[in-house]
Structure 1
Amino acid sequence: MTIKIVIGADVVPTKSNVGLFAKADVKTLIGENLKKLLEISNFTIFNLEVPLTDKSTPIKKCGPNLIAPTKTIAGLKTINPHFFTLANNHILDQGEQGLNSTMSLLDKYGIAYAGAGKDLEEAAKPYIFEQDGKKIGIYCCAEHEFTIATETTSGANPFDSLNSLDHVMELKKQCDYVIVLYHGGKEHYRYPSPYLQKVCRKIVDKGADIVVCQHSHCIGCEEKWHEGTIVYGQGNFLFDDGDNEYWNTSLLIELNVGNKLEVSYIPLCKNNNGVRLADETEANLIMANFHERSKEILSRGFIQENYSKFAESMSVGYYYRISGKFSSFLPIRIINKLSNYLFLKWIYGSKEKTMIENCLECEAHRELFSQFLKDSRKGRL
């Protein structure tokens, strides 16, 4: 007997389709064909990347504070979710009350979840389901941003190489197969960073049969590593926020579980305020590009070289991030624009770059600097 599991990516009701979710307009949101595909699956998995709450209590953070009203649960339920991962960088956007509201709502509607909780211990708990004599474990974790749980506070389960790898190894002892949902990587980047590749390979080494990297909002590539599969980005599932080459396509991951775990892909395309199955021409193009990228990362040196180019393309944004209020002064902004940002780069000479690098690379400096910034942001210093 084969168990069919479908993994979808980010689900977020937005202003453009909140009414469709509230009315449970499944025809407009996902269409009949996609609805049937999800309904015949034995188990479906999605990333719920938004707190479901009617109270706005945004936390201090970088980036947007997402929120969706509780009435959208009607539409979420119609996509047939058996399980939501809550380990992501938005689940605590509305603070503890937002997370509690979300978990209570999912409990009420009988939707399983993992990856977040009242504290670190609860957030780190995996989810195990059993069917036809097979046990399948799901472990959910996220890179460190502003929604991470601690030993005493609510939030998402952080990936921690000193603990998470042990969690995966222990889960494998209990299960026939292990799925790891890793919320991380860089948005709009279709390849793994050198670090991300090392992390995902090690997760496979510790027992994961498949590692799925979500968060990038774009389709990435695939790597076969030892006995496991790593998917570096599958795009969104239903997140109507962007209209570009990254947000317009995505993948469902289909797992057929029997004597072994077989992985296949189902291409999707954005459809106005919803999503639909890609037609044959679209699907062939999506998969051809996916397979081409998957071949590229096998070339020696490709991942490091491509990542270095990507880092250079992002350099101005990071210079601004560490410039404080200085970069917001109108005269400075004009000079930067006229000089094609050469002035901004000139401010950080070799010595300054070396000091910043040391703060980021050295564990002791990084931990201390991070603690100082965190305490300052919370008004403790």
Structure 2
Amino acid sequence: MSTRHHTTIEDSLPLLLAGDVMLGRGIDQILRSPSDPVLYEDYLKDARDYVRLAERANGTVPRTVNPDYVWGASRDALTDRSRVRLLNLETAITTNDSPWPSKGIHYRMHPANIDCLKAIAPDCLVLANNHVLDWGRAGLIETLRTLEAAGIPFVGAGQDQREAERPAILPAAKGKRLLVFAAGHGDSGIPTDWAADESSPGVHYLPALDEAAIEQLARLVHSHRQPGDTVVFSIHWGSNWGYQVPEAHRRFARSLIDQVGVDLVHGHSSHHPRTFEVHHGRLILYGCGDLINDYEGIGDTAPYRSDLALLYRPVLRGGQLTHLELDPFAIRRLQLQACEPPERSWLVGVLDRQAQRFGGRVIDNGSHLTCRWQT
């Protein structure tokens, strides 16, 4: 079944995409209104210890920072309103003190620190991930209400199944619309009982990456899509580490394009960038990596360099990818900073080797990283 509408859009649609935005734990502790630092994990028991690890690695980290501190060198790009900006928020925004039981890691940011997100005012935040209910359904409801009060659109979670599944509808050029749908799969660590249902809040949860899911998503997209719309499907899936793309992910992403009519697949969950693919002119990002995290100084993430982050700059025309550039950053002192030349060279090498497996290339043009692909 196909729900694609053939459009005659003449104007480009520039986007800015990123993976996981992790504003809890150490990040929350350096903002102006930190949460109670107690942690319920095996590794550390105090969120302030993540700040100390970062300081051990790269020097003093300031406290009670300005709301835009963490964005650092990425701030200009993240506030560029000529692009539609879509990020995955992997943090609950809540004062709830009851963590989800039997879950090893819990991320939260104090609602009084919402100015950190308001400083960049993203066009849409994805919430279908494995941390948004870390502090229970009460924590999710407070997250939703805090984002609504701040005027920040979100997608992928809601007070019930209908709200969790509905798309964010964003304006595009010439009166056209961008529809953003979001869902999460269990292989990213989302518990099955986080799924929203008719009477309970939760996330838009995919129990399997199979034909039944494709048929259900095709009906969902078709029920909202109008002629001329561009559709982004944002999906939280896969492991945190490693460069291999599971064949099941590749089949599902291609089916989203071929059968559901999706124009861009925005994948995330990996803590470092995975490769991209262009299928029938449509972009698939298999794993965007973390944009900001508090892993600095942990050490065991070093082989994958989760301290190096990307912003993705695709340009679409009629749903087709016409350009793709990447902005690289390094996380130092819990802030996004410019990549040093050796870091940039290492990242380009890794990205280019991955891209070649799917017919692409990544080249450093001195300003951005430019992606090329077979047509």
The match for 2:354 is 293
The match for 2:327 is 266
Secondary structure at 1:273 match in 2 = coil
TM-score normalized by the length of structure 1: 0.72
Distance in 1 (alpha carbons) for counterparts of 2:74 and 2:277: 26
Partner of residue 185 from structure 2, selected from 137, 140, 143: 143
The match for 1:107 is 148
Residues 150-190 of structure 1: CA deviation (Å, up to 9, x unaligned):
23321110133442243234455455311111100111022
In the TM superposition, what is the alpha-carbon distance from 1:61 to its structure 2 partner?
Answer: 3.9
Residues 280-313 of structure 1: CA deviation (Å, up to 9, x unaligned):
55334323321211222569xxxxxxxxxxxxxx
User: Aligned pair 1:40/2:94, yes or no?
Assistant: no
* 2:214/2:255 contact within 8 Å kept: no
Partner of residue 158 from structure 1, selected from 205, 208, 213: 205
Secondary structure at 2:287 match in 1 = strand
The match for 1:228 is 282
Q: Which shifted more, 54-63 or 79-88? A: 54-63
Distance 1:21 1:79, change over 3 A: farther
The match for 2:269 is 215
User: Aligned pair 1:13/2:67, yes or no?
Assistant: no
The one-letter code matched in structure 1 to 2:74 is L
Partner of residue 183 from structure 1, selected from 203, 218, 236: 236
Alignment of structure 1 residues 108-123 onto 2, 5 Å: 108-123=149-164
Distance 1:95 1:14, change over 3 A: closer
Q: Of the two, which has the highest radius of gyration?
A: 1
The match for 2:343 is 282
Distance in 1 (alpha carbons) for counterparts of 2:312 and 2:227: 24
The one-letter code matched in structure 2 to 1:239 is N
* 1:129/1:137 contact within 8 Å kept: yes
Residues 178-213 of structure 1: CA deviation (Å, up to 9, x unaligned):
111110011102221111111111111121111121
Q: Which shifted more, 167-176 or 188-197? A: 167-176
The match for 2:48 is none
Q: Which shifted more, 137-146 or 286-295? A: 286-295
Distance in 2 (alpha carbons) for counterparts of 1:69 and 1:286: 33
In the TM superposition, what is the alpha-carbon distance from 1:263 to its structure 2 partner?
Answer: 2.7
* 1:219/1:251 contact within 8 Å kept: yes
In the TM superposition, what is the alpha-carbon distance from 1:127 to its structure 2 partner?
Answer: 0.9
In the TM superposition, what is the alpha-carbon distance from 1:131 to its structure 2 partner?
Answer: 2.9
Distance in 2 (alpha carbons) for counterparts of 1:61 and 1:157: 21
Structure with more contact order per residue of length (Cα contacts < 8 Å, sep ≥ 6): 2
The one-letter code matched in structure 1 to 2:277 is E
Distance 1:175 1:292, change over 3 A: same
Q: How many residues align?
A: 298
Q: Which shifted more, 277-286 or 122-131? A: 277-286
Percent identity of equivalent pairs: 22
Distance in 2 (alpha carbons) for counterparts of 1:47 and 1:10: 5
The one-letter code matched in structure 2 to 1:276 is Q
Distance 1:14 1:96, change over 3 A: closer
Distance in 2 (alpha carbons) for counterparts of 1:288 and 1:29: 26
Distance 1:122 1:26, change over 3 A: closer
Residues 59-99 of structure 1: CA deviation (Å, up to 9, x unaligned):
22443122221122121221332211111111112122111
Distance 1:2 1:85, change over 3 A: same
Secondary structure at 1:186 match in 2 = coil
Q: Which runs of 4+ in 1 moved over 6 A?
A: none
The one-letter code matched in structure 1 to 2:201 is S
Distance 1:184 1:227, change over 3 A: same
Distance 1:76 1:21, change over 3 A: farther
CA RMSD of aligned residues (A): 2.3
Distance in 2 (alpha carbons) for counterparts of 1:170 and 1:191: 34
Secondary structure at 2:181 match in 1 = strand
Distance in 1 (alpha carbons) for counterparts of 2:244 and 2:185: 17
Q: Which runs of 5+ in 2 are unaligned?
A: 1-10, 33-63, 207-212, 361-375
In the TM superposition, what is the alpha-carbon distance from 1:258 to its structure 2 partner?
Answer: 4.4
TM-score normalized by the length of structure 2: 0.73
Secondary structure at 1:63 match in 2 = coil
Q: Which runs of 5+ in 1 are unaligned?
A: 300-381
The match for 2:106 is 65
The match for 2:307 is 248
Partner of residue 133 from structure 2, selected from 89, 92, 115: 92
Secondary structure at 1:163 match in 2 = helix
* 1:24/1:76 contact within 8 Å kept: no
Secondary structure at 1:152 match in 2 = coil
The one-letter code matched in structure 1 to 2:28 is V
Partner of residue 49 from structure 1, selected from 84, 90, 94: 90
The match for 1:325 is none
The match for 2:220 is 167
* 1:5/1:41 contact within 8 Å kept: no
Residues 350-372 of structure 1: CA deviation (Å, up to 9, x unaligned):
xxxxxxxxxxxxxxxxxxxxxxx
In the TM superposition, what is the alpha-carbon distance from 1:25 to its structure 2 partner?
Answer: 2.2
Distance 1:295 1:172, change over 3 A: farther
Secondary structure at 1:121 match in 2 = helix
* 2:74/2:329 contact within 8 Å kept: no
